[in-house]
Amino acid sequence: MTASDNPERPTDVDHGAAQALDDDHRERENLADKREAALDAREVQADARDEAQSDRRKRATHILAAADNRDHHAEARDAAATTRDTEASLHSFLHDSADEYGPALKARRSAAIDRTDSKTDRTSAAADRFELAGDEPTSPNVDNG
């Protein structure tokens, strides 16, 4: 009986095959560990990306709310300016005073300043929206003339 015929006594060939299997197993475990580490790194990146997107969404919502608020205040100022201007014009028409620099002129100047401030607010709000969306910084309701 030879050494290769005895199943209890491994030969050098069997020992080499067992070593190759161990090496192959270690290599697979090493590759699995690397894949798991890469997966963990991707999960961390995805979490960071999600958090950054959430922060951008919150900031965009805040900016849009502020722009809407400025537009609302501009509309209110315009309405008040129109009312003052109309009252001043009516007063001047009905009273035909010789004093051209009276309260009517001051009311008209105040209305004009309010309209200028409103235009500035609308332009600023449109510019903020442009920063977020990449659209033109003017809307159809804004008079740039």
The per-residue pLDDT of the chain, averaged, comes to: 78
Please give the Cα distance from 92 to 95 (Å, whole number). Answer: 5
3-state secondary structure of 93: helix
Interval 32-68: pLDDT, tens: 999 999 999 999 999 999 999 999 889 889 988 988 9
Contact 66, 126 (CB under 8 A): no
pTM of the model: 0.52
Of 71, 82, 78, 74, the residue nearest 126 (C-alpha): 71
Domain boundaries, the chain: 12-133
Q: Is the model more confident about 140 or about 76? A: 76
* C-alpha–C-alpha distance, residues 120 and 67, integer Å: 12
Q: What is the pLDDT of residues 14-29, one digit of tens each?
A: 666 677 778 888 889 9
pLDDT of residue 38: 92
pLDDT value at residue 145: 43
